[in-house]
Amino acid sequence: MSLSRRHCFFGVFWLILALFILVAKIIPSGRVSYEVDYHHLSRPLGGKGFIGHLTPAERVSQEAKEPALVGGDPVYFSVFTPRTFSEAKVTITYRDELTPNTPVIEAGVLVDNLVWRYLTKPLENKTLDSLKDWSLVSDGERSLYQKNPNFSSVADFIETATKNPEEICPDGNLNSCLALYNPPALDFLQKRIPGPTLDFVPWTVPLRGTHQFYFTAPTNQELFFSFILADLNLDKRDDPVHLIVYEGSQIICQSKIEDNDGGEGEGEVQTKTATLTCPPLLNQETLKLEVKGSSDLVIKEISAAPGALNFVGRVYPVEAEVLPLEFWTDRNLISLTTVNPASRQEITFGDQEFSLAEPYERYEFANQDPGLKKVTLTKVDVILETGGVLAPQAETFFNPDFDVLSRYFSLNEETTYILAAYQPPLFRTDGLKEATVTFNTQAAYRENGKYSFMISIPGLAPADSGQLVIEKIKVEFTGRSLLEKLSDFF
Amino acid sequence: MVFFELIWPNSVLAFFNLNYAVLAWLILGLILLF
């Protein structure tokens, strides 16, 4: 039987089509670049392209063939890739119409879908860019900003910081004069200055969601923690809880409490106890405890811990037998939100009073008085954030952290050095800025062939009149080529 | 996974910025053409 010309043509055509689809799927070169230019964006055939829309819609205003106007924080976009890649280089071209209240712009990639955690990197930090009279040395990746030009290279500074910290900060405590931004991974930054060991006071105010705590552990003693945890079962998914103890960014012990009780989505509260035991430490150290779970998690009680607990970053109390609740902070800016109309209240921050007037709004209150200040909450069901340490008692307050140039940062007299893995954006002659960040996407979370990215302008809210005008997003992916993959087999 | 992509070519859809309905019409057109 001989094939007709028509059949041959037909066969070759479908073969070429199949080959094209295969190549489009495999991307043999291991490199691909996707971009969306909002000035020329047209999708007449109804496709979504590789880079999805900026969401949620209420934070972005997007007209056809106009740049995207971002008026809220954060916004997300997903990028479809036919295969996995190991690295993503994200370039954002934007016009900056932000107010001085929002000095930081960051981009992030989703790495943990359980707590919706994005690994963020800086696009622009105006606090750093404004240090015009400081001396700057950089090795391409890491930059050192110095009030007085004492060091000629970053390597020189790192060596001195490791061996003779008192040459940098007179009291020998590096966090008294060194501030960080997007800190590079360096050993000397991992060691926190040990705080005083203070007796543990049981915590009985129920807390909702993930919380982190600092504590100072005594030497040669097993670290024992005990919790009473509740699962609200409002969400349909299982709600496992992770108990993790960190030394710097290293995990020293952890335990996972599985959610085998069922009842998800039925709203019936289930309570259980959980414990964590870690091996003893050789030196007295300040460690971080993280109780990580979904928004269904309530930490009802912490009945045992090796030392006094101080909150890190945020606290979300949901019930209290005794009011008001008090927290102590050394920060000058606090932020508060509630989703409960019954939790509207007057807050005191230091000696000033502020009003949390509406639910679902994020309020920020500033108090420039130096030193430790008390925050008083008269009602619960409020999320209080500071970007720093929040202590339940003034006596237990201890800040082992370096100052970080977040939007909560205000430059003080003591800060004489800033170490940052940061490159300022490119200021183009047409008034646009172009900022690039590179992410390791091997650790990133990928679902339905999509990586999820975020653009964050901390503090940007509809009440703030600023906006970020995004003209173009470009994502360049790099991964192993087909040849490299095949060479594994030989 | 690669085989699945042959009958459900997400990457081609994204590449040509098409939606599923348009792609289905295109394939139907090609089949009719031969």
B33 interfaces chain A, CB cutoff of 8 Å = no
**Which domains, and CATH codes, for chain A?**
31-127+423-483 (2.60.120.260)
Residue with tokens 């280089």: A89
B4 interfaces chain A, CB cutoff of 8 Å = no
Which chain B residue is nearest to residue A8, measuring alpha carbons? Answer: B34
pLDDT band at A416 (very low <50, low <70, confident <90, very high): very high
Percent residues over pLDDT 70 in chain A: 98
Q: Is the pLDDT of residue A1 over 60?
A: no
The confidence score (pLDDT) of residue A381 equals 94
Q: Do A46 and B6 touch (CB under 8 A)?
A: no
Which of helix, strand or coil describes residue A125? strand
Q: Name the residue ranges covered by the structural domains of chain B.
A: 2-33
The confidence score (pLDDT) of residue B6 equals 66
Give the max Cα distance, chain B. 29
Q: Is the pLDDT of residue A300 over 80?
A: yes
pLDDT band at A392 (very low <50, low <70, confident <90, very high): very high
Mean pLDDT of A214-232: 92
Q: Do B19 and A10 touch (CB under 8 A)?
A: no
Nearest to A442 by CA among A481, A488, A477, A483: A477
Nearest to A181 by CA among A125, A236, A117: A125
Output the average pLDDT for chain A. 89
More confident: A22 or B33: A22
Selecting from A18, A24, A43 the residue whose C-beta is nearest the C-beta of B17 gives A43
B16 interfaces chain A, CB cutoff of 8 Å = yes
Beta bridge partners of A468: A70, A96
Q: Is the pLDDT of residue B1 over 80?
A: no
Quote the minimal CA–CA distance from A15 to chain B in Å.
11
Say whether pTM exceeds 0.80: no
Q: How many CB atoms lie within 10 A of CB A185?
A: 9
Quote the minimal CA–CA distance from A236 to chain B in Å.
29
The secondary structure of A50-102 as a DSSP string is: SB---B-GGGEE--TTS-EEE-SS-EEEEEE-SS--SEEEEEEEEEEE--TT-
CA atoms in the 13 A half-sphere facing the CB of A138: 11
**Which chain B residues are Cβ-neighbours of A50 within 8 angstroms?**
14-15
CA atoms in the 13 A half-sphere facing the CB of A489: 4
A479's enclosing H/E stretch is: none
- Give the separation between CA A367 and CA A356, rounded to whole angstroms: 15
Q: In this predicted model, what pLDDT tens digit does every residue of A323-369 receive, in sequence order?
A: 999 999 988 889 999 999 999 999 999 999 999 999 988 888 888 88
- Give the separation between CA A275 and CA A286, rounded to whole angstroms: 20
Cβ-contact A268, A210 below 8 angstroms: no
Quote the minimal CA–CA distance from A283 to chain B in Å.
51
Please name the amino acid found at residue A460: L
Cβ-contact A431, A80 below 8 angstroms: no
Q: Is the pLDDT of residue A214 over 90?
A: yes
Nearest to A434 by CA among A445, A423, A449, A443: A423
Beta bridge partners of A208: A298
